[in-house]
Homo-oligomer: A and B are copies of this chain.
């Protein structure tokens, strides 16, 4: 996903293109994700969506994120021991993770090569290869 939909209509089209019925709540959630193209967790998304008027419940935020994940509209980043981050960038790329601040930064995939991975057992497919470089302030 590398174009940026600016209007709710564009977001609605994006959802339709992924087989997702565009509802008010889903549009708002997707809008927030694609507006700030950042790594957000469910909590932050919940807060951002409801910033003006409370309109979307916690349950819907979780339901919707799971749906988006399933439909490959976003990616899940499991990197922080206490919460999952959602990444609106589904093209292959990797991450720096600052252990001190919890901050996540993208590493473009084109420069990085991972070689020598062993073959997978039969009947099993790779869903993706995540490279996470954990960093911290020099001591």
Contacts and interface: CB of A to CB of B under 8 A. Distances in A.
Interface of A: 76, 78-81, 84, 96, 98-99, 107, 111-118, 120, 123-139
Given A81-B76, A84-B81, A137 B115 contact: no
A111 B98 CA distance: 27
Contacts of A117: 107, 111-112, 131, 133
A118 B129 contact: no
Contacts of A79: 78
Contacts of A107: 117-118
A105 B54 CA distance: 44
**Identical copies of this chain, number:** 2
24 contacts: A76-B81, A78-B80, A78-B81, A98-B124, A107-B117, A112-B114, A112-B116, A112-B117, A113-B116, A114-B115, A123-B138, A125-B135, A125-B138, A125-B139, A126-B133, A126-B134, A127-B134, A128-B133, A129-B132, A129-B133, A129-B134, A130-B132, A131-B131, A132-B132
Contacts of A135: 120, 124-127
A115 B112 contact: yes
B128 A134 contact: yes
A125 B116 CA distance: 25
Nearest to A132: B130
Nearest to A115: B113
